[in-house]
C-alpha cells in the first residue's frame, strides 16, 4: 500500500470508514491552502501509512463532529480550526495529550512553540490540559500595496483605519476614472481598480473580516463573564468602518471567502485586505501573482484601541474514538517538530515555532520577509470567543452581518438582532 492515499470530499461521505480499516492512520484536513503544509510532509512520515481525507471548511467540521458523536473511529487525527477546540474538548471528543508527554519524560510541549500558539491548545484556554498541538500559525495580517498607498498619502504601514479608508478611497476613485492622470486601467500597469477587498460571504468569512475591526474599536462579541456584548456603541462604530471599507471593494466581494479575497490581491485587482498569512507565498510567487514585491505586510491598524490580530491556527488533535492513539500522538509530535515545520514553511505553511520564524536562512528570502510581522501578530493576537457553541454563534452572527451588508437591515437592527440570537444560543434556548 502506498504511504498516502488521498480521499477527496466525496469520500468523506461514503468511503472514509472503509479507508480507515485499510490503513494505519486517517487524518481529516481542510481542502484549502491551509493544508499545504501537512500535505507537504505526510508522504515522508516513516511511522505509519497515513490516509488523508479532505473537505471544505464547513463540511469538515460537520463531518468530524458527526464522527465524534457516533464514536466511529473514522478519524484518528483531526486538523481543526482553533475556535472548534471548545466544542470537541468539552464534549470529550479529543484525547488528553498530557499522559503521552509524561510518558515521553517531557511533561508538556517544548518551549520553542510560541506561547500564544500553545495557549490555544489548552482547554480551558491557556490553563487547561493540552488537547492538541499547533501546526499552521495563522494570525490575520493587513496586506497593502505600499506604492499605491503612498500615491494617496499613506506612507509606511497604516496606523489606523482612517489611513486605510483614505488610501482605499483614492485607489478606488483612480480606478473608476482617469481624473488622477493615470489613464485607463490598461494604461495603468501596477494600479488596482479597488482600494480594499473583504470577505463578505455569509458565516465564517464575514465574521473573520469583521472581528479585528470590532476589537480595534474596543468592541467584543462576548465578555469574560460569557455575556454577549454586540449591541453597543463600540460595535456600531466598528460596523460603520467595515461598511465604509466595503464601498471601496469589488461588488462581488459580498460573496468572497478567503480564497477569492486573496486572489483579488494576487491578481492586482484590489490594493489592500485583512487575510491570513498563508496567502503570502502566493503573493510572492511570479507564477501565481501579479504583485510580486509590491505587497507590504503589517499588523492590524488601530481604531480607538490598539489593533489586534485574530489568531486562527490550525491544530492537530487525536480523536478520542481512535484505536491507534499512540501512533496518532507519534505522528502529531513528528509533524510539529522543527524539522517538519521548516519543510511545511517552505510549502507555504506559516510556522508556530520560534526557531523557524527566526531562521535567517528563511527570513532573508523575500517570500519569508513577513515572518517578523507574523510573529508579532501571533504574540499579540486575540482568539475568537472560546465557547462550545462558537460555530453556531459564528454562523448566526455572519447571517446578520451579511444582511446589513446587503442593505436588508440597518446596522443598529442587525447588532440588536445578533445580540438577541447569540444570547439565546449561550443561554441554551
Element (H, E) at 62: helix 57-70
In tens, the pLDDT along 224-263 reads 999 999 999 999 999 999 999 999 999 999 999 999 999 9
pLDDT at 15 (0 to 100):
38
| pLDDT reading at 429 higher than 50 | yes
| pLDDT reading at 213 higher than 90 | yes
Helices (H), 152-289: 161-176, 204-216, 233-246, 258-266, 280-283
Q: If you count them, how many residues does the chain have?
A: 429
| pLDDT reading at 19 higher than 80 | no
More confident call, 189 vs 337:
337
pLDDT at 175 (0 to 100):
82
Tell me the three cell numbers of residue 418.
445578533
| pLDDT reading at 392 higher than 90 | yes
In tens, the pLDDT along 278-287 reads 899 899 999 9
In tens, the pLDDT along 182-196 reads 333 343 456 789 999
Q: From CA 203, how far away is CA 201, in angstroms rounded?
A: 6
pLDDT at 305 (0 to 100):
98
Give the pLDDT mean for 56-74.
95
Q: List residues bridging with 310 in a β-sheet.
A: 382
| pLDDT reading at 32 higher than 70 | yes
| pLDDT reading at 59 higher than 70 | yes
| pLDDT reading at 22 higher than 50 | no
Tell me the three cell numbers of residue 283.
503573493
Q: Domains in the chain and their CATH numbers?
A: 25-138+312-383 (3.40.190.10), 141-178+187-308+387-428 (3.40.190.10)
pLDDT at 123 (0 to 100):
95
pLDDT above 70 as % of the chain: 91
Distances (CA, A) of 32 to 13, 40, 341, 368: 18, 13, 18, 20
Whether the pTM exceeds 0.75: the reply is yes
Q: List residues bridging with 346 in a β-sheet.
A: none
Residue 351 DSSP class = P
Q: From CA 96, how far away is CA 76, in angstroms rounded?
A: 14
Amino acid at each position: 500500500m502506498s504511504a498516502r492515499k488521498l480521499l477527496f470530499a466525496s469520500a468523506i461521505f461514503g468511503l472514509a470508514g472503509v479507508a480507515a480499516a485499510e490503513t494505519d492512520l486517517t487524518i481529516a484536513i481542510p481542502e484549502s491552502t491551509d493544508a499545504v503544509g501537512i500535505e507537504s510532509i505526510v508522504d515522508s512520515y516513516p511511522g505509519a501509512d497515513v490516509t488523508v481525507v479532505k473537505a471544505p471548511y464547513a463540511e469538515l467540521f460537520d463531518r468530524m463532529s458527526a464522527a465524534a458523536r457516533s464514536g466511529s473511529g473514522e478519524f484518528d487525527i483531526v486538523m481543526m480550526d482553533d475556535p472548534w477546540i471548545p466544542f470537541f474538548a468539552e464534549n470529550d471528543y479529543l484525547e488528553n495529550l498530557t499522559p503521552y508527554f509524561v510518558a515521553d519524560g517531557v511533561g508538556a510541549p517544548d518551549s520553542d512553540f510560541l506561547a500564544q500558539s500553545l495557549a490555544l491548545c489548552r482547554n480551558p484556554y491557556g490553563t487547561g490540559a493540552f488537547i492538541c498541538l499547533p501546526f499552521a500559525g495563522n494570525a490575520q495580517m493587513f496586506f497593502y500595496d505600499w506604492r499605491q498607498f503612498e500615491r494617496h498619502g499613506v506612507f509606511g504601514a497604516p496606523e489606523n483605519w482612517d489611513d486605510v479608508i483614505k488610501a482605499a478611497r483614492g485607489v478606488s476613485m483612480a480606478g473608476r476614472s482617469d481624473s488622477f492622470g493615470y489613464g485607463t486601467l490598461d494604461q495603468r500597469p501596477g494600479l488596482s481598480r479597488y482600494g480594499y477587498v473583504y470577505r463578505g460571504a455569509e458565516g465564517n468569512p464575514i465574521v473573520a473580516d469583521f472581528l479585528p475591526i470590532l476589537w480595534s474599536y474596543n468592541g467584543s462579541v462576548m465578555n469574560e463573564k460569557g455575556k454577549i456584548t454586540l449591541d453597543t456603541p463600540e460595535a456600531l462604530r466598528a460596523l460603520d468602518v467595515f461598511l465604509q471599507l466595503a464601498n471601496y471593494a469589488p461588488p462581488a466581494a459580498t460573496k468572497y471567502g478567503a480564497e477569492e479575497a486573496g486572489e483579488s490581491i494576487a491578481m492586482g485587482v484590489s490594493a489592500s485586505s485583512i487575510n491570513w498569512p498563508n496567502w503570502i507565498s502566493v503573493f510572492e510567487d511570479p507564477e501565481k501573482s501579479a504583485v510580486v514585491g509590491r505587497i507590504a505586510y503589517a499588523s492590524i491598524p488601530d481604531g480607538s484601541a490598539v489593533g489586534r490580530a485574530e489568531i486562527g491556527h490550525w491544530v492537530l488533535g487525536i480523536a478520542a474514538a481512535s484505536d491507534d492513539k499512540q501512533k496518532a500522538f507519534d505522528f502529531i509530535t513528528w509533524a510539529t517538530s522543527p524539522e517538519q515545520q521548516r519543510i511545511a514553511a517552505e510549502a507555504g505553511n506559516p510556522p508556530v515555532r520560534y526557531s523557524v520564524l527566526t531562521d535567517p536562512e528563511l527570513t532573508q528570502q523575500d517570500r519569508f520577509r513577513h515572518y517578523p510581522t507574523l510573529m508579532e501578530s501571533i504574540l499579540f493576537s486575540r482568539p475568537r470567543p472560546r465557547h462550545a457553541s462558537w460555530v453556531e454563534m459564528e454562523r448566526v452572527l455572519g447571517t446578520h452581518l451579511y444582511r446589513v451588508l446587503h442593505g436588508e437591515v440597518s446596522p443598529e437592527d442587525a447588532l440588536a438582532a445578533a445580540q438577541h440570537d447569540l444570547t439565546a444560543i449561550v443561554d441554551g434556548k
